Structure 1
Amino acid sequence: MAVPAFAGVLVVVVVWLAGPGILGPMPSSGGTVVDATVTAPAPCSDPTAKETVQFQAGGQTRTGSLDACGHDKNNRVRIAVPADLGPGQADVHLADVVVGHTDLRRPVGLALLALSCLSGGAYAFLVQRGSRRAALAG
Structure 2
Amino acid sequence: MPPLTWRVLGVAAVTGILVVLLAWWAGPSLFGSAPEAETRTVEATVTLPAECTNPNAEETVRFELDGATRNGTLSGCGHNRDEQVEIAVPHDPPDGLIDVQLASTAPGTSDLRRPVGLALLVLGCAAGATYAYLLARGPRRLALA
User: TM-score, normalized by length of structure 1?
Assistant: 0.61
Tell whether 2:72 aligns with 1:64. yes
Query: Deviation at 1:52?
Result: 1.6
Query: Deviation at 1:82?
Result: 2.1
Query: Deviation at 1:46?
Result: 5.7
Aligned equivalents of 1:18, 1:106: Cα separation in 2: 6
1:76-87 matched pairs, under 5 angstroms: 76-87=84-95
Larger Rg: 2
State the Cα deviation string for residues 36-71 of structure 1 (Å, max 9, x = none): 221222334567543221112233332212244321
**Aligned alpha-carbon RMSD (Å):** 3.9
Aligned equivalents of 1:53, 1:116: Cα separation in 2: 45
Q: Greater shift after overlay, 81-90 or 40-49?
A: 40-49
Residue correspondences, number: 123
1:11-50 matched pairs, under 5 angstroms: 17=30, 19-20=32-33, 26=34, 29=37, 31-44=39-52, 48-50=56-58
Tell whether 2:59 aligns with 1:51. yes
Aligned equivalents of 1:43, 1:101: Cα separation in 2: 27
1:78 partner letter: E
Equivalent in 109, 116, 120 of residue 109 of structure 1: 116
Using the aligned pairs only, state the percent identity: 38
1:79 partner letter: I
Classify the secondary structure of the residue corresponding to 1:134.
coil
Query: Deviation at 1:89?
Result: 2.0
Classify the secondary structure of the residue corresponding to 1:109.
helix
Looking at secondary structure, tell me which structure has more helix per residue. Answer: 1
